[in-house]
Amino acid sequence: MQDSNRRDFLKGVAVPAATLAVAPLFVPRSAFGANDRPAYGVIATGGRGRYLNKKFMKTGCQPVAMCDVYEPNLQAALSDSPGAKGYVDYQELLAQPGVDFVVLAGPDHHHMPMLFASLDAKKDVYAEKPLSRTLEEAGQMRKRVAGIKQIVQVGHQRRSSLMIHKAEEAIEEGMLGRVALVKAQWNWNIARELDNSALPGKIDWDRFLGTAPKRPVEPRRYRNWRHFWDYAGGNMTDQGAHLMDTVLRLMKSPPPTAAVCQGYIAKSIGQEGPDVFMASFEFEKFLATWSLDYCSSYENGWSITFLGDAGTMIINEEGFEVFGEPANEKKEPVMTYKGGIPVESHIDNFLACVKTRNQPNCTVEVAQRAVAGPHLANIAYREGRKAHLAADLLTVS
| Domain limits, the chain | 6-159+344-371, 165-211+218-340
With a cut of 60, say whether residue 239 has pLDDT above it. Answer: yes
d(Cα 321, Cα 323) in Å, to the nearest integer? 7
The whole-number pLDDT of residue 326 equals 84
Query: Please, which pLDDT band fits residue 13 given cuts at 50, 70 and 90?
Result: very low
- For residue 316, what are the β-bridge partners? 303, 319
What stretches of 174-240 adopt beta strand conformation (E)? 179-187
* Identity of the amino acid at 126: Y
Query: What would the mean pLDDT of 142-171 be, rounded to a whole number?
Result: 97
Interatomic CA distance for residues 281 and 63, integer angstroms: 42
Model pLDDT, residue 394: 79
Residue 15's CB: how many other CB atoms inside 10 A?
A: 24
Mean pLDDT of the chain: 91
Number of Cβ atoms within 10 Å of the Cβ of 187: 19
Provide the whole-model pTM. 0.90
How many whole angstroms separate alpha carbon 223 and alpha carbon 202?
13
Query: CA separation (Å) from 215 to 88, 131, 201, 231, 248?
Result: 20, 25, 19, 13, 38
Model pLDDT, residue 1 = 29
- The amino acid at residue 75 is Q
Residue 35's Cβ-count burial label (10 Å; 0-12, 13-18, 19+) is exposed
Q: Are 96 and 42 in contact (CB under 8 A)?
A: no
Residue 235: per-residue pLDDT = 96
Assign domain 6-159+344-371 to its CATH architecture.
Answer: 3-Layer(aba) Sandwich (3.40)
Q: Is the pLDDT score of 397 beyond 80?
A: yes
Per the omega criterion (within 30 degrees of 0), is the bond before 326 cis?
A: yes
Q: How far is Cα 156 from Cα 341, in angstroms, rounded to an integer?
A: 10
Question: Contact 387/281 with Cβ under 8 angstroms?
Answer: no
Residue 315 pairs with which residues in a beta bridge? 304, 320
Exposure of 146 in the CB half-sphere (CA atoms within 13 A):
8
Pairwise pLDDT comparison (266 vs 16), residue with the higher score: 266
Q: Where are the beta strands (DSSP E) in the chain?
A: 39-43, 62-67, 85-87, 101-104, 124-127, 152-154, 179-187, 258-264, 276-282, 287-293, 301-308, 311-316, 319-324, 335-338, 387-388
Please report, for residues 77, 216, 221, 365, the alpha-carbon distance to residue 225 in angstroms, rounded to integers and kept in the order given.
Answer: 20, 15, 5, 25
Round to whole Å and give the CA distance between 82 and 357. Answer: 29
58-62, 297-301, 375-379, 391-395: segment of lowest average pLDDT: 391-395
2, pLDDT greater than 50: no
7 pLDDT higher than 60: no
Of the CATH numbers 3.40.50.10490, 3.30.360.10, 3.40.50.10610, 3.20.20.10, which one belongs to the domain with range 165-211+218-340? 3.30.360.10
pLDDT at 330: 66
Instruction: Give me the pLDDT at residue 108, please.
Output: 98
Residue whose C-alpha is closest to residue 190's, from 144, 227, 243: 227
Does residue 363 contact residue 344 with C-beta atoms inside 8 Å?
A: no
pLDDT (tens digit, 9 = 90+) per residue, 182-222? 999 999 999 999 999 999 999 999 999 999 999 999 999 99
* Virtual torsion, Cα 82, 87, 90, 96, nearest 10 deg: -60
213 SS3 class:
coil
Helix, strand, coil share (%) of the chain residues, nearest 5? 35, 20, 45
